[in-house]
Amino acid sequence: METVEDIVIVGAGIAGLTTALGLHRMGIRSLVLESWEGLRVTGFAFTTWTNAWKALDAIGIGDTLRQHHQQLKGIVVSSTVSGLPVSQMSFEIKGKHGNHEIRCLRRKELLETLAKELPAGTIRFGAKVVSIDEANYFKLVHLADGSILKTKVLIGCDGINSVVGKWLGIPKPSSTGRYAIRGMAEFPDGHSFKQKFLQFVGDGFRSGFIPCDQNTMYWFFTYTPSAQYKDTVGEVDPSKMKQFVLQNIGKVPKEIVDVIEQTSLDSIISAPLKFRQPLNLLWPGASYKDNVGVAGDALHPMTPDIGQGGCAALEDGVILSRHLSQVFSRKQTDDKVLEKEEYSRIKKSMKKFSDERKWRSFELIATAYMVGMIQQSSGKFIDLIRDKILASYLAGMLLKRADFDCGKLTSS
Ligand SMILES: Cc1cc2nc3c(=O)[nH]c(=O)nc-3n(C[C@H](O)[C@H](O)[C@H](O)COP(=O)(O)OP(=O)(O)OC[C@H]3O[C@@H](n4cnc5c(N)ncnc54)[C@H](O)[C@@H]3O)c2cc1C
Q: 34 CB less than 6 Å from ligand 1?
A: yes
**Residue owning the nearest CA to atom 41 of ligand 1:** 129
Annotate 217-250 with DSSP letters as a single string.
Answer: EEEEEEE---GGGGGGTT---HHHHHHHHHHH--
- First and final CA of the chain: distance in angstroms? 38
pLDDT at 412 over 70: no
CA of 13 to the centre of ligand 1 (A): 6
CATH architecture, domain defined by 4-43+107-175+276-380: 3-Layer(bba) Sandwich (3.50)
Share of the chain above pLDDT 70, in %: 92
Q: Which residues contact 2 (CB under 8 A, 6 or more apart)?
A: 150
Q: Is 271 within 8 Å of 235 (Cβ atoms)?
A: no
The predicted structure's pLDDT at residue 136: 93
Residue 392 to residues 75, 86, 126, 306, 337, Cα–Cα distance (Å): 10, 8, 46, 14, 59
If pLDDT is split at 50, 70 and 90, which confidence band does 284 have? confident
Annotate 346-366 with DSSP letters as a single string.
Answer: HHHHHHHHHHHHHHHHHHHHH
Whether pTM exceeds 0.85: yes
Question: How many angstroms separate the CA atoms of 152 and 31, rounded?
Answer: 12
Q: What amino acid is encoded at 141 in this protein?
A: V
Residue 86 to residues 193, 271, 367, Cα–Cα distance (Å): 19, 28, 20
pLDDT in tens, 30-44: 999 999 999 999 999
The predicted structure's pLDDT at residue 338: 83
Annotate 33-78 with DSSP letters as a single string.
Answer: EESSSS----SSEEEE-HHHHHHHHHTT-HHHHHTTSPBP-EEEEE
Length of the chain: 412
Residue 358 to residues 86, 224, 285, Cα–Cα distance (Å): 34, 29, 11
pLDDT in tens, 51-87: 999 999 999 999 999 999 999 999 999 988 888 998 8
CA of 159 to the centre of ligand 1 (A): 5
CA of 45 to the centre of ligand 1 (A): 12
pLDDT at 234 over 70: no
Question: How many angstroms separate the CA atoms of 258 and 22, rounded?
Answer: 41
Mean pLDDT computed over every residue of the chain: 93
Residues paired with 189 in a beta bridge: none
The pick from 42, 157, 158 for probing ligand 1's pocket by mutation, whose C-beta has the most ligand atoms within 8 angstroms, reads 158
Q: Is 30 within 8 Å of 122 (Cβ atoms)?
A: yes
**Residue owning the nearest CA to atom 52 of ligand 1:** 304
pLDDT in tens, 89-126: 999 999 999 999 999 999 999 999 999 999 999 999 99
The predicted structure's pLDDT at residue 112: 98
Atom of ligand 1 nearest to the CA of 297: 26
**Residue owning the nearest CA to atom 35 of ligand 1:** 11
Domain boundaries, the chain: 4-43+107-175+276-380
pLDDT at 377 over 90: no
Q: What amino acid is encoded at 309 in this protein?
A: G
Share of the chain above pLDDT 90, in %: 81
Question: How many angstroms separate the CA atoms of 178 and 238, rounded?
Answer: 18
* Residue 226, φ and ψ in degrees, nearest 5: -85, 180
CA of 281 to the centre of ligand 1 (A): 19
